[in-house]
Amino acid sequence: MIKKRRLVIVGGGSAGWMAAAYLNGALNDKGMSSNVDIHLIESPDTPRISVGEATIPSMRHLLAVVGVDELDFMRATEATFKQSIKYTNWVTNNNTFYHHPFSRLTMQPVDNMGMRWLQSDQSIPFMETCSAQPIICEMGLSPQALGDSRMGQPLSYAYHMNAQKFADYLRDFSVQRGVKHTFANVVDIQLRDQDHIHSVTTDQGQVCEADLFVDCTGFRANLIEKTLGVGFEDCSQWLLCDRAITMHVPYDEYYPGLVRPYTTATALSNGWIWDIPMQTRRSIGYVHSSDFIDEESAEREMRAYQGGNNEALDARLIKFKVGRRHRTWHGNCIAIGLAGGFIEPLESTGLYLSDMGAVMLAEHFPWHDEGMDLLATRYNRMMSNRFYEILDFINMHYCLTQRTDTDFWLEVQKPERINDRLAAKFEYWKVKPPSPSDFDDMWLPGQSLTAVAKDYAGADRRPAVDTAGLWNYQSYECILYGMAFLKKQSAQWFGESRPPTRVSQTILQRLQMARNQLPPHAHWLQQRLGMQQYPTAAKPAGWVA
């Protein structure tokens, strides 16, 4: 018989409630059993960061394990569909764009779509030759039909949602299924020894003992750093942005006429702005570097992006630091969410890292104390590898830009702003374009032989390995070719005069079916979720229907 384990999560928000909900779903069979006592302690005094959040398709796995109904979840969180990220003005500052969609065609038995595109005149954006989703997104269509669909393979999608309502939804759902919830401040943390927590004490006088503690206290990292002393690895050399000015734009005054079924990432003078549509409003946020633009100028630029009379809308400044804990699991404490690390949300991986932290903890859950260090070692290795994989991928968006209009964009292109793993990928792919085998053993000449956190005594000293757990060669093709990588090489390899770019007949047929079967995104939301109909107001700057 399994001995019941006790787990205390300190901190709520999206990270805390994702951890509680997923662990309860995975370890306690959605609350049907009680193998683990899960207790979440949430401070009533901690400000909540209420922003629109974009996710990636892995969120659907978390919801399935938790056991929630998709439509209930979408109603409760103001959720909309997300099929892609649209990157505008990242290559040059001339309103050009490309999409990073979730679905694409894979040719069989050999996927040579990237090579075919390089051998053409590249007159059609690469992703439009191998995916119907960029055009489906530009048409503003839902990924789901209102009735029976005859489109064949379903379109992959994720969600946009209100992060605060998401946390509240998971809280209510989890408490109904056995998770204990306490609103209180943790005022003392007692140690069993220098590496293990024995209990936490709240300002209500509760002493909460546990076998395992999860730190979801955000950047404060009250357990993993302030109590256990685990250090932080600064990665701001590769990603210069450290601030975000955010604003909510309500539809009752600023409805642009449709709900985009994708996230927009528009490059501005000293960073980029997210534009996330929900059911009642859009959430926009200007991610920028304080070394290149001050707060007042950043807010002014964000408001200019929105356009119209928006002075009455409140703006909020969020400060962040890019980096990760030297260990996210130390002793009997696991840091999930911002306590474990942060990378700017360019590819919508904020919630993903919390998601993965919970998924990996369920898979490596210590049912007894013996062998916990072995589990922690593997957990730390996998979380570390995934962090660096994300760091490389986001670093790539910046360093491939051709913009020269501001000092910020000139700075991010400098060789010292490209980490050695990514630089090695670039050099390799200038010899041979990306292909599946590249990630069988992702160690390439030019990479460092030690971890970035080499100065920490307990750090894993092996180099990080990109396992393509999140982004494979197809994802790299999307960004690389969208950012004009290999443009010069393809001319050298295949000549200046190349045949016109062609779109697969399969893609053309899929687009025709989409036009006939998929409703406008807003119409689907109104019919399925009861989203309100709004009168169209002035559209934001740069809006393309």
Residue 31 within a domain:
yes
Least confidently predicted of 49-53, 64-68, 81-85, 221-225:
49-53
| Mean pLDDT value across the chain | 93
Do 259 and 300 share a structural domain?
Answer: yes
Same domain, 56 and 176: yes
Q: Does 448 have pLDDT greater than 90? A: no
251 and 370 within one domain: no
Identify the band that residue 465 occupies on the pLDDT scale cut at 50, 70 and 90: confident
210 & 250 share domain: no
**Same structural domain for residues 166 and 315?**
no
Query: What pLDDT, on the 0 to 100 scale, is given for residue 543?
Result: 57
Mean pLDDT of the 46-50 span: 73
Average confidence (pLDDT) over 499-517: 94
What CATH number is attached to the domain comprising 18? 3.50.50.60
pLDDT tops 90 at residue 526: yes
In a domain, 200, yes or no: yes
Which domain, by its residues, includes 344? 5-79+161-231+324-385
Q: How far apart are CA 276 and CA 288, in angstroms?
A: 17
Question: Cα–Cα distance between 170 and 183 in angstroms, integer?
Answer: 15
Residue with tokens 């050399």: 237
Burial 168-194 (b: 16+ CB within 10 A, else e): bbbbebbbebbbebeebebeebeeeee
Asked if the model's pLDDT at residue 446 lies above 90, the reply is no
Q: How confident is the model at residue 51 (pLDDT cuts 50, 70, 90)?
A: confident
Rounded average pLDDT over 221-239: 96
How high is the pLDDT of residue 32? 86
Q: Residue 545 domain-assigned?
A: no
- Asked whether residue 453 carries a pLDDT value surpassing 70, the answer given is no
425 in any annotated domain: no
How far is the CA of 306 from the CAs of 115, 289, 300, in angstroms?
Answer: 39, 20, 10
Q: Does the pLDDT of residue 540 top 70, yes or no?
A: no
pLDDT at residue 445, as a whole number: 85
Do 274 and 339 lie in a common domain?
no
Q: What is the pLDDT of residue 309?
A: 87
Is the model's pLDDT at 151 over the cut of 90?
A: no
Q: Known catalytic residues?
A: 82
Residue 434 domain flag: no
pLDDT per position as a tens digit, 165-213: 999 999 999 999 999 999 999 999 999 999 999 999 999 999 999 999 9
User: What pLDDT shows up at residue 237?
Assistant: 96
Query: What's the rounded Cα separation, in Å, for the pair 179 and 244?
Result: 34
Residue written as token pair 């119409």: 523
Distance, CA of 475 to CA of 539 (rounded, Å) = 31
Residue at a domain's end among 319, 350, 366: 319
Does the residue 85 lie in any domain? Answer: no
Measured distance CA(178)–CA(132) in Å, rounded: 43
* Residue 364 pLDDT exceeds 90: yes
Strand 212-215 vs strand 333-335: parallel, antiparallel, or unpaired?
Answer: parallel
The band of 529, judged by pLDDT with boundaries at 50, 70 and 90, is: very high
Specify the pLDDT at position 342: 96
Residue 457's pLDDT band (boundaries 50, 70, 90)? low
Structure tokens of 497? Answer: 């005069």
| pLDDT of res. 535 | 86
Tokens for 451? 């971890």
CB distance 204 to 166 below 8 Å: no
Spatial distance between the Cα atoms of 32 and 25, rounded to a whole number of angstroms: 9
The pLDDT value recorded for residue 450 is: 65
Q: Are residues 201 and 336 in the same domain?
A: yes
Residue 197 lies in a domain: yes
Query: Same domain for 180 and 201?
Result: yes
**Percent of the chain clearing pLDDT 70 (strictly above):** 96
Q: How many domains does the chain have?
A: 2
How far, in Å, CA of 343 to CA of 353, rounded?
9
Tokens for 103?
Answer: 């679905």
pLDDT in tens, 330-346: 999 999 999 999 999 99
